[in-house]
Structure 1
Amino acid sequence: MYDRRLDAILASAELGSFGRAAAHLHISTPALIKQVNGFEQEHHLTLFKRGRAGVTLTPAGASLVADAYDIIDESKHALRRAQRMTSANASIRLGVSLLRPATALLDLWSRLAPTMAAHNPPIRLELVPLSDAPDGFLYELDHLGATVDVVVTGFSRTNWNHPCQAVQLAEYQLCMGVPLTNRLANRARLTVDDLSGQRVHLPPIGGGDALDDARTRLAVNPDVELVDLQRYEFDAFNECAQSGDLLLAKSIWHNFHPSIRLIPMDWDITVPYGLLYAQHPTPAVRDFVAAVADSVSENGQ
């Protein structure tokens, strides 16, 4: 799908040596040098400065290498898409991460499996691991249908800026994540007044209806310091566990961090969790989503 000589160029750029690059690719050094030289001659480029200490990229080489990673990734994605079109099975790629494990969907799978097996062609579920960093789960959420077909996460019914559709699967309570070292850790339930003197980490305004509602209620108590949390990542839980600060959290994360206990609040704020998919899904994804919606409807969720 792409010029395989790019592999030699990238390895040489990363390792700074044709010899080390050749060993990394399991080919001889003369064979790798022939690939690099041939590419340079064919395209009238000088990609590397050669020296006794190894090789370094020229400005033209640095530009090519920066783009080559995207070229290779897109080629691999194109090949996978083509293979899926000719496969005897339709694969639904479900993106999952540490904070978004898709529990609400996986709990339905035993009921969905017979319908998926009877589909023509049969539909199977493929789990795609993602990070919770901005270039992981959140990036895929804005590009559903490219490398991931569906995800399961919290969403907002009215304040939603991502280009996708949603089928609601469940609702989870908004709780307070309390480090075990905090004086509130043994409480069975908390009120906003109980939080006086505490720092609470939570997303800024615009994070969603439920989160904005929680922020409004917490702000009523002037003795609660609200700390903006740009996004939920594992590091946020670690930081609160170390500092003793509180963290607004969803009940689905009740076993997420061993040093943080989720305690119910005296409010009835819930976050809808849904199956999110592209605005223009493939036929297989459309049929899968319809089957999920039917299963949810049958169970009165």
Structure 2
Amino acid sequence: MDVDLRKLRYFVAVAEELHFGRAAARLHIAQPVLSRQIRALEHELRAELFLRDRRSTVLTEAGRQLLVDARPLLASAEALRRRVHRAAHGRPTFTIAFMPGIIVTAEARAIARLHPDLSVAVVRTSWNDQVEVVHDGRADVSYVRLPVDHRGLRLRPLFTEPRVVVLPRDHRLAGKESIDLADLAGERLLQDPDAVPEWRDLPDRRTDPEPRPRPELNSVEEKLEHVAAYAGMAILPLSTAAFYTRPDVVHVPVADLGHNQVCLAWAEGNRSPLVDEFVDIAVRQARAAGLSPQESAS
């Protein structure tokens, strides 16, 4: 049986919305059409994907498994489409993605010098899409900050750097030479705790009696705005905090917080020789900058 990618896209929309009406509106199709397509997919897979009644739509165990597998499959299909389109239309392109605080100018110039006919592009990412850009083909390689989901990726560790806490300038801990993570237990973490795994293990960390939804922060600038407005604190790599300076916030080293690992990531299925060349360039550049690349990982 061949899996119909269109039906998979429909399924993912329903799985994310958990509402056929909203999913149909998002897909710009009629709800009866969407329902028929989902029933057809269930018939093809011989599995019930949703439990539905008049009040709710929930994923079955089979549906949860399909959602895990469908997203990377759809991303790989989109990456294939992008690469074929670039190959068929004009000048070949190599795109480098990077996280805030990481400068890739030297590496971009190096790959461009080796391939004068190559159009080299860069794209800035965030915590939310730093690996997504290589899965869906928007970037050939991406400088990522761990932790990330390794599935479907190859990773090459490049260097580590300290992490700091960013606080309002008049905060009680501002001006300290260094603090411990426990000193922050009474503070509100603005980020997804997955970005700071140590926070989950911190005893007596702040928990609101009436938990407020964490603000959706998609950029460093948004994080700093919330910190400056006394909405909470943010943990950032030192290079990011130093790059995005402003007068109303400060950053303080956290002595017992592990360093942030920076890796180069690319899609497992991307076998372009340009990727191998760029990995060598990135490692050499890290060494030239006095950083300590570690052994490669997959």
Q: If the TM-score is normalised by the length of the shorter chain, which range does it land in?
A: 0.5 to 0.7
- In the TM superposition, what is the alpha-carbon distance from 1:270 to its structure 2 partner? 0.5
Cα gap change, 1:300 to 1:244, in 2 (>3 Å): closer
**Alpha-carbon distance in 2 for matches of 1:191, 1:272:** 20
Cα gap change, 1:226 to 1:150, in 2 (>3 Å): farther
- In the TM superposition, what is the alpha-carbon distance from 1:250 to its structure 2 partner? 1.8
SS of match in other structure, 1:177: strand
**Alpha-carbon distance in 1 for matches of 2:118, 2:228:** 42
- In the TM superposition, what is the alpha-carbon distance from 1:295 to its structure 2 partner? 4.2
Q: CA contact under 8 A between 2:190 and 2:215: conserved in structure 1? A: no
**Alpha-carbon distance in 2 for matches of 1:295, 1:194:** 37
**Alpha-carbon distance in 1 for matches of 2:217, 2:162:** 16
Q: CA contact under 8 A between 2:198 and 2:257: conserved in structure 1? A: no
Residue 176 (1) aligns with residue 165 (2): yes
- Alignment match of 1:140 (pick from 130, 133, 151): 133
Q: CA contact under 8 A between 1:90 and 1:284: conserved in structure 2? A: no
**Alpha-carbon distance in 1 for matches of 2:165, 2:82:** 45
**Aligned residue runs from structure 1 range 1-301, under 5 A:** 62-63=28-29, 78=81, 81-84=84-87, 90-96=92-98, 100-101=99-100, 103-109=102-108, 112-113=110-111, 116-119=112-115, 123-129=118-124, 132=126, 134=128, 137=130, 139-141=132-134, 143-144=135-136, 146-156=137-147, 160-195=149-184, 197-204=186-193, 207=194, 211-216=196-201, 219-220=202-203, 222=204, 224-225=205-206, 233-234=218-219, 235-254=222-241, 255-256=243-244, 258=246, 259-281=248-270, 282-296=272-286, 301=292
Q: What residue identity is the alignment partner of 2:184? A: L
TM-score (norm 1): 0.55
**Alpha-carbon distance in 2 for matches of 1:162, 1:240:** 33
Residue 65 of structure 2 is matched in structure 1 by: none
> Would you identify which runs of 4 or more consecutive aligned residues in structure 1 move more than 6 Å?
none
Q: CA contact under 8 A between 2:92 and 2:117: conserved in structure 1? A: yes
Q: CA contact under 8 A between 1:181 and 1:244: conserved in structure 2? A: no
1:81-108 Cα distance to aligned partner (Å, 9 max, x none): 4444675x64211234xxx247253354
Residue 15 of structure 2 is matched in structure 1 by: none
**Alpha-carbon distance in 2 for matches of 1:79, 1:194:** 48
TM-score (norm 2): 0.56
Instruction: Name stretches of at least 5 consecutive residues in structure 1 with no aligned partner.
Output: 1-58, 65-73
SS of match in other structure, 1:200: coil
**Alpha-carbon distance in 1 for matches of 2:268, 2:88:** 19
Q: CA contact under 8 A between 1:182 and 1:244: conserved in structure 2? A: no
- In the TM superposition, what is the alpha-carbon distance from 1:256 to its structure 2 partner? 2.3
SS of match in other structure, 1:63: coil
Identity of aligned residues (%): 13
**Alpha-carbon distance in 2 for matches of 1:178, 1:257:** 12
**Alpha-carbon distance in 1 for matches of 2:117, 2:284:** 18
- In the TM superposition, what is the alpha-carbon distance from 1:178 to its structure 2 partner? 0.7
Q: CA contact under 8 A between 1:176 and 1:265: conserved in structure 2? A: yes
Cα gap change, 1:180 to 1:284, in 2 (>3 Å): same
Q: Give the paired residue count.
A: 213
Instruction: Name stretches of at least 5 consecutive residues in structure 2 with no aligned partner.
Output: 1-24, 31-76, 293-298
1:56-91 Cα distance to aligned partner (Å, 9 max, x none): xxx9x9539xxxxxxxxx99x95774444675x642
- Name the larger-Rg structure: 1
Pick the structure with more strand per residue: 1
- In the TM superposition, what is the alpha-carbon distance from 1:166 to its structure 2 partner? 1.8
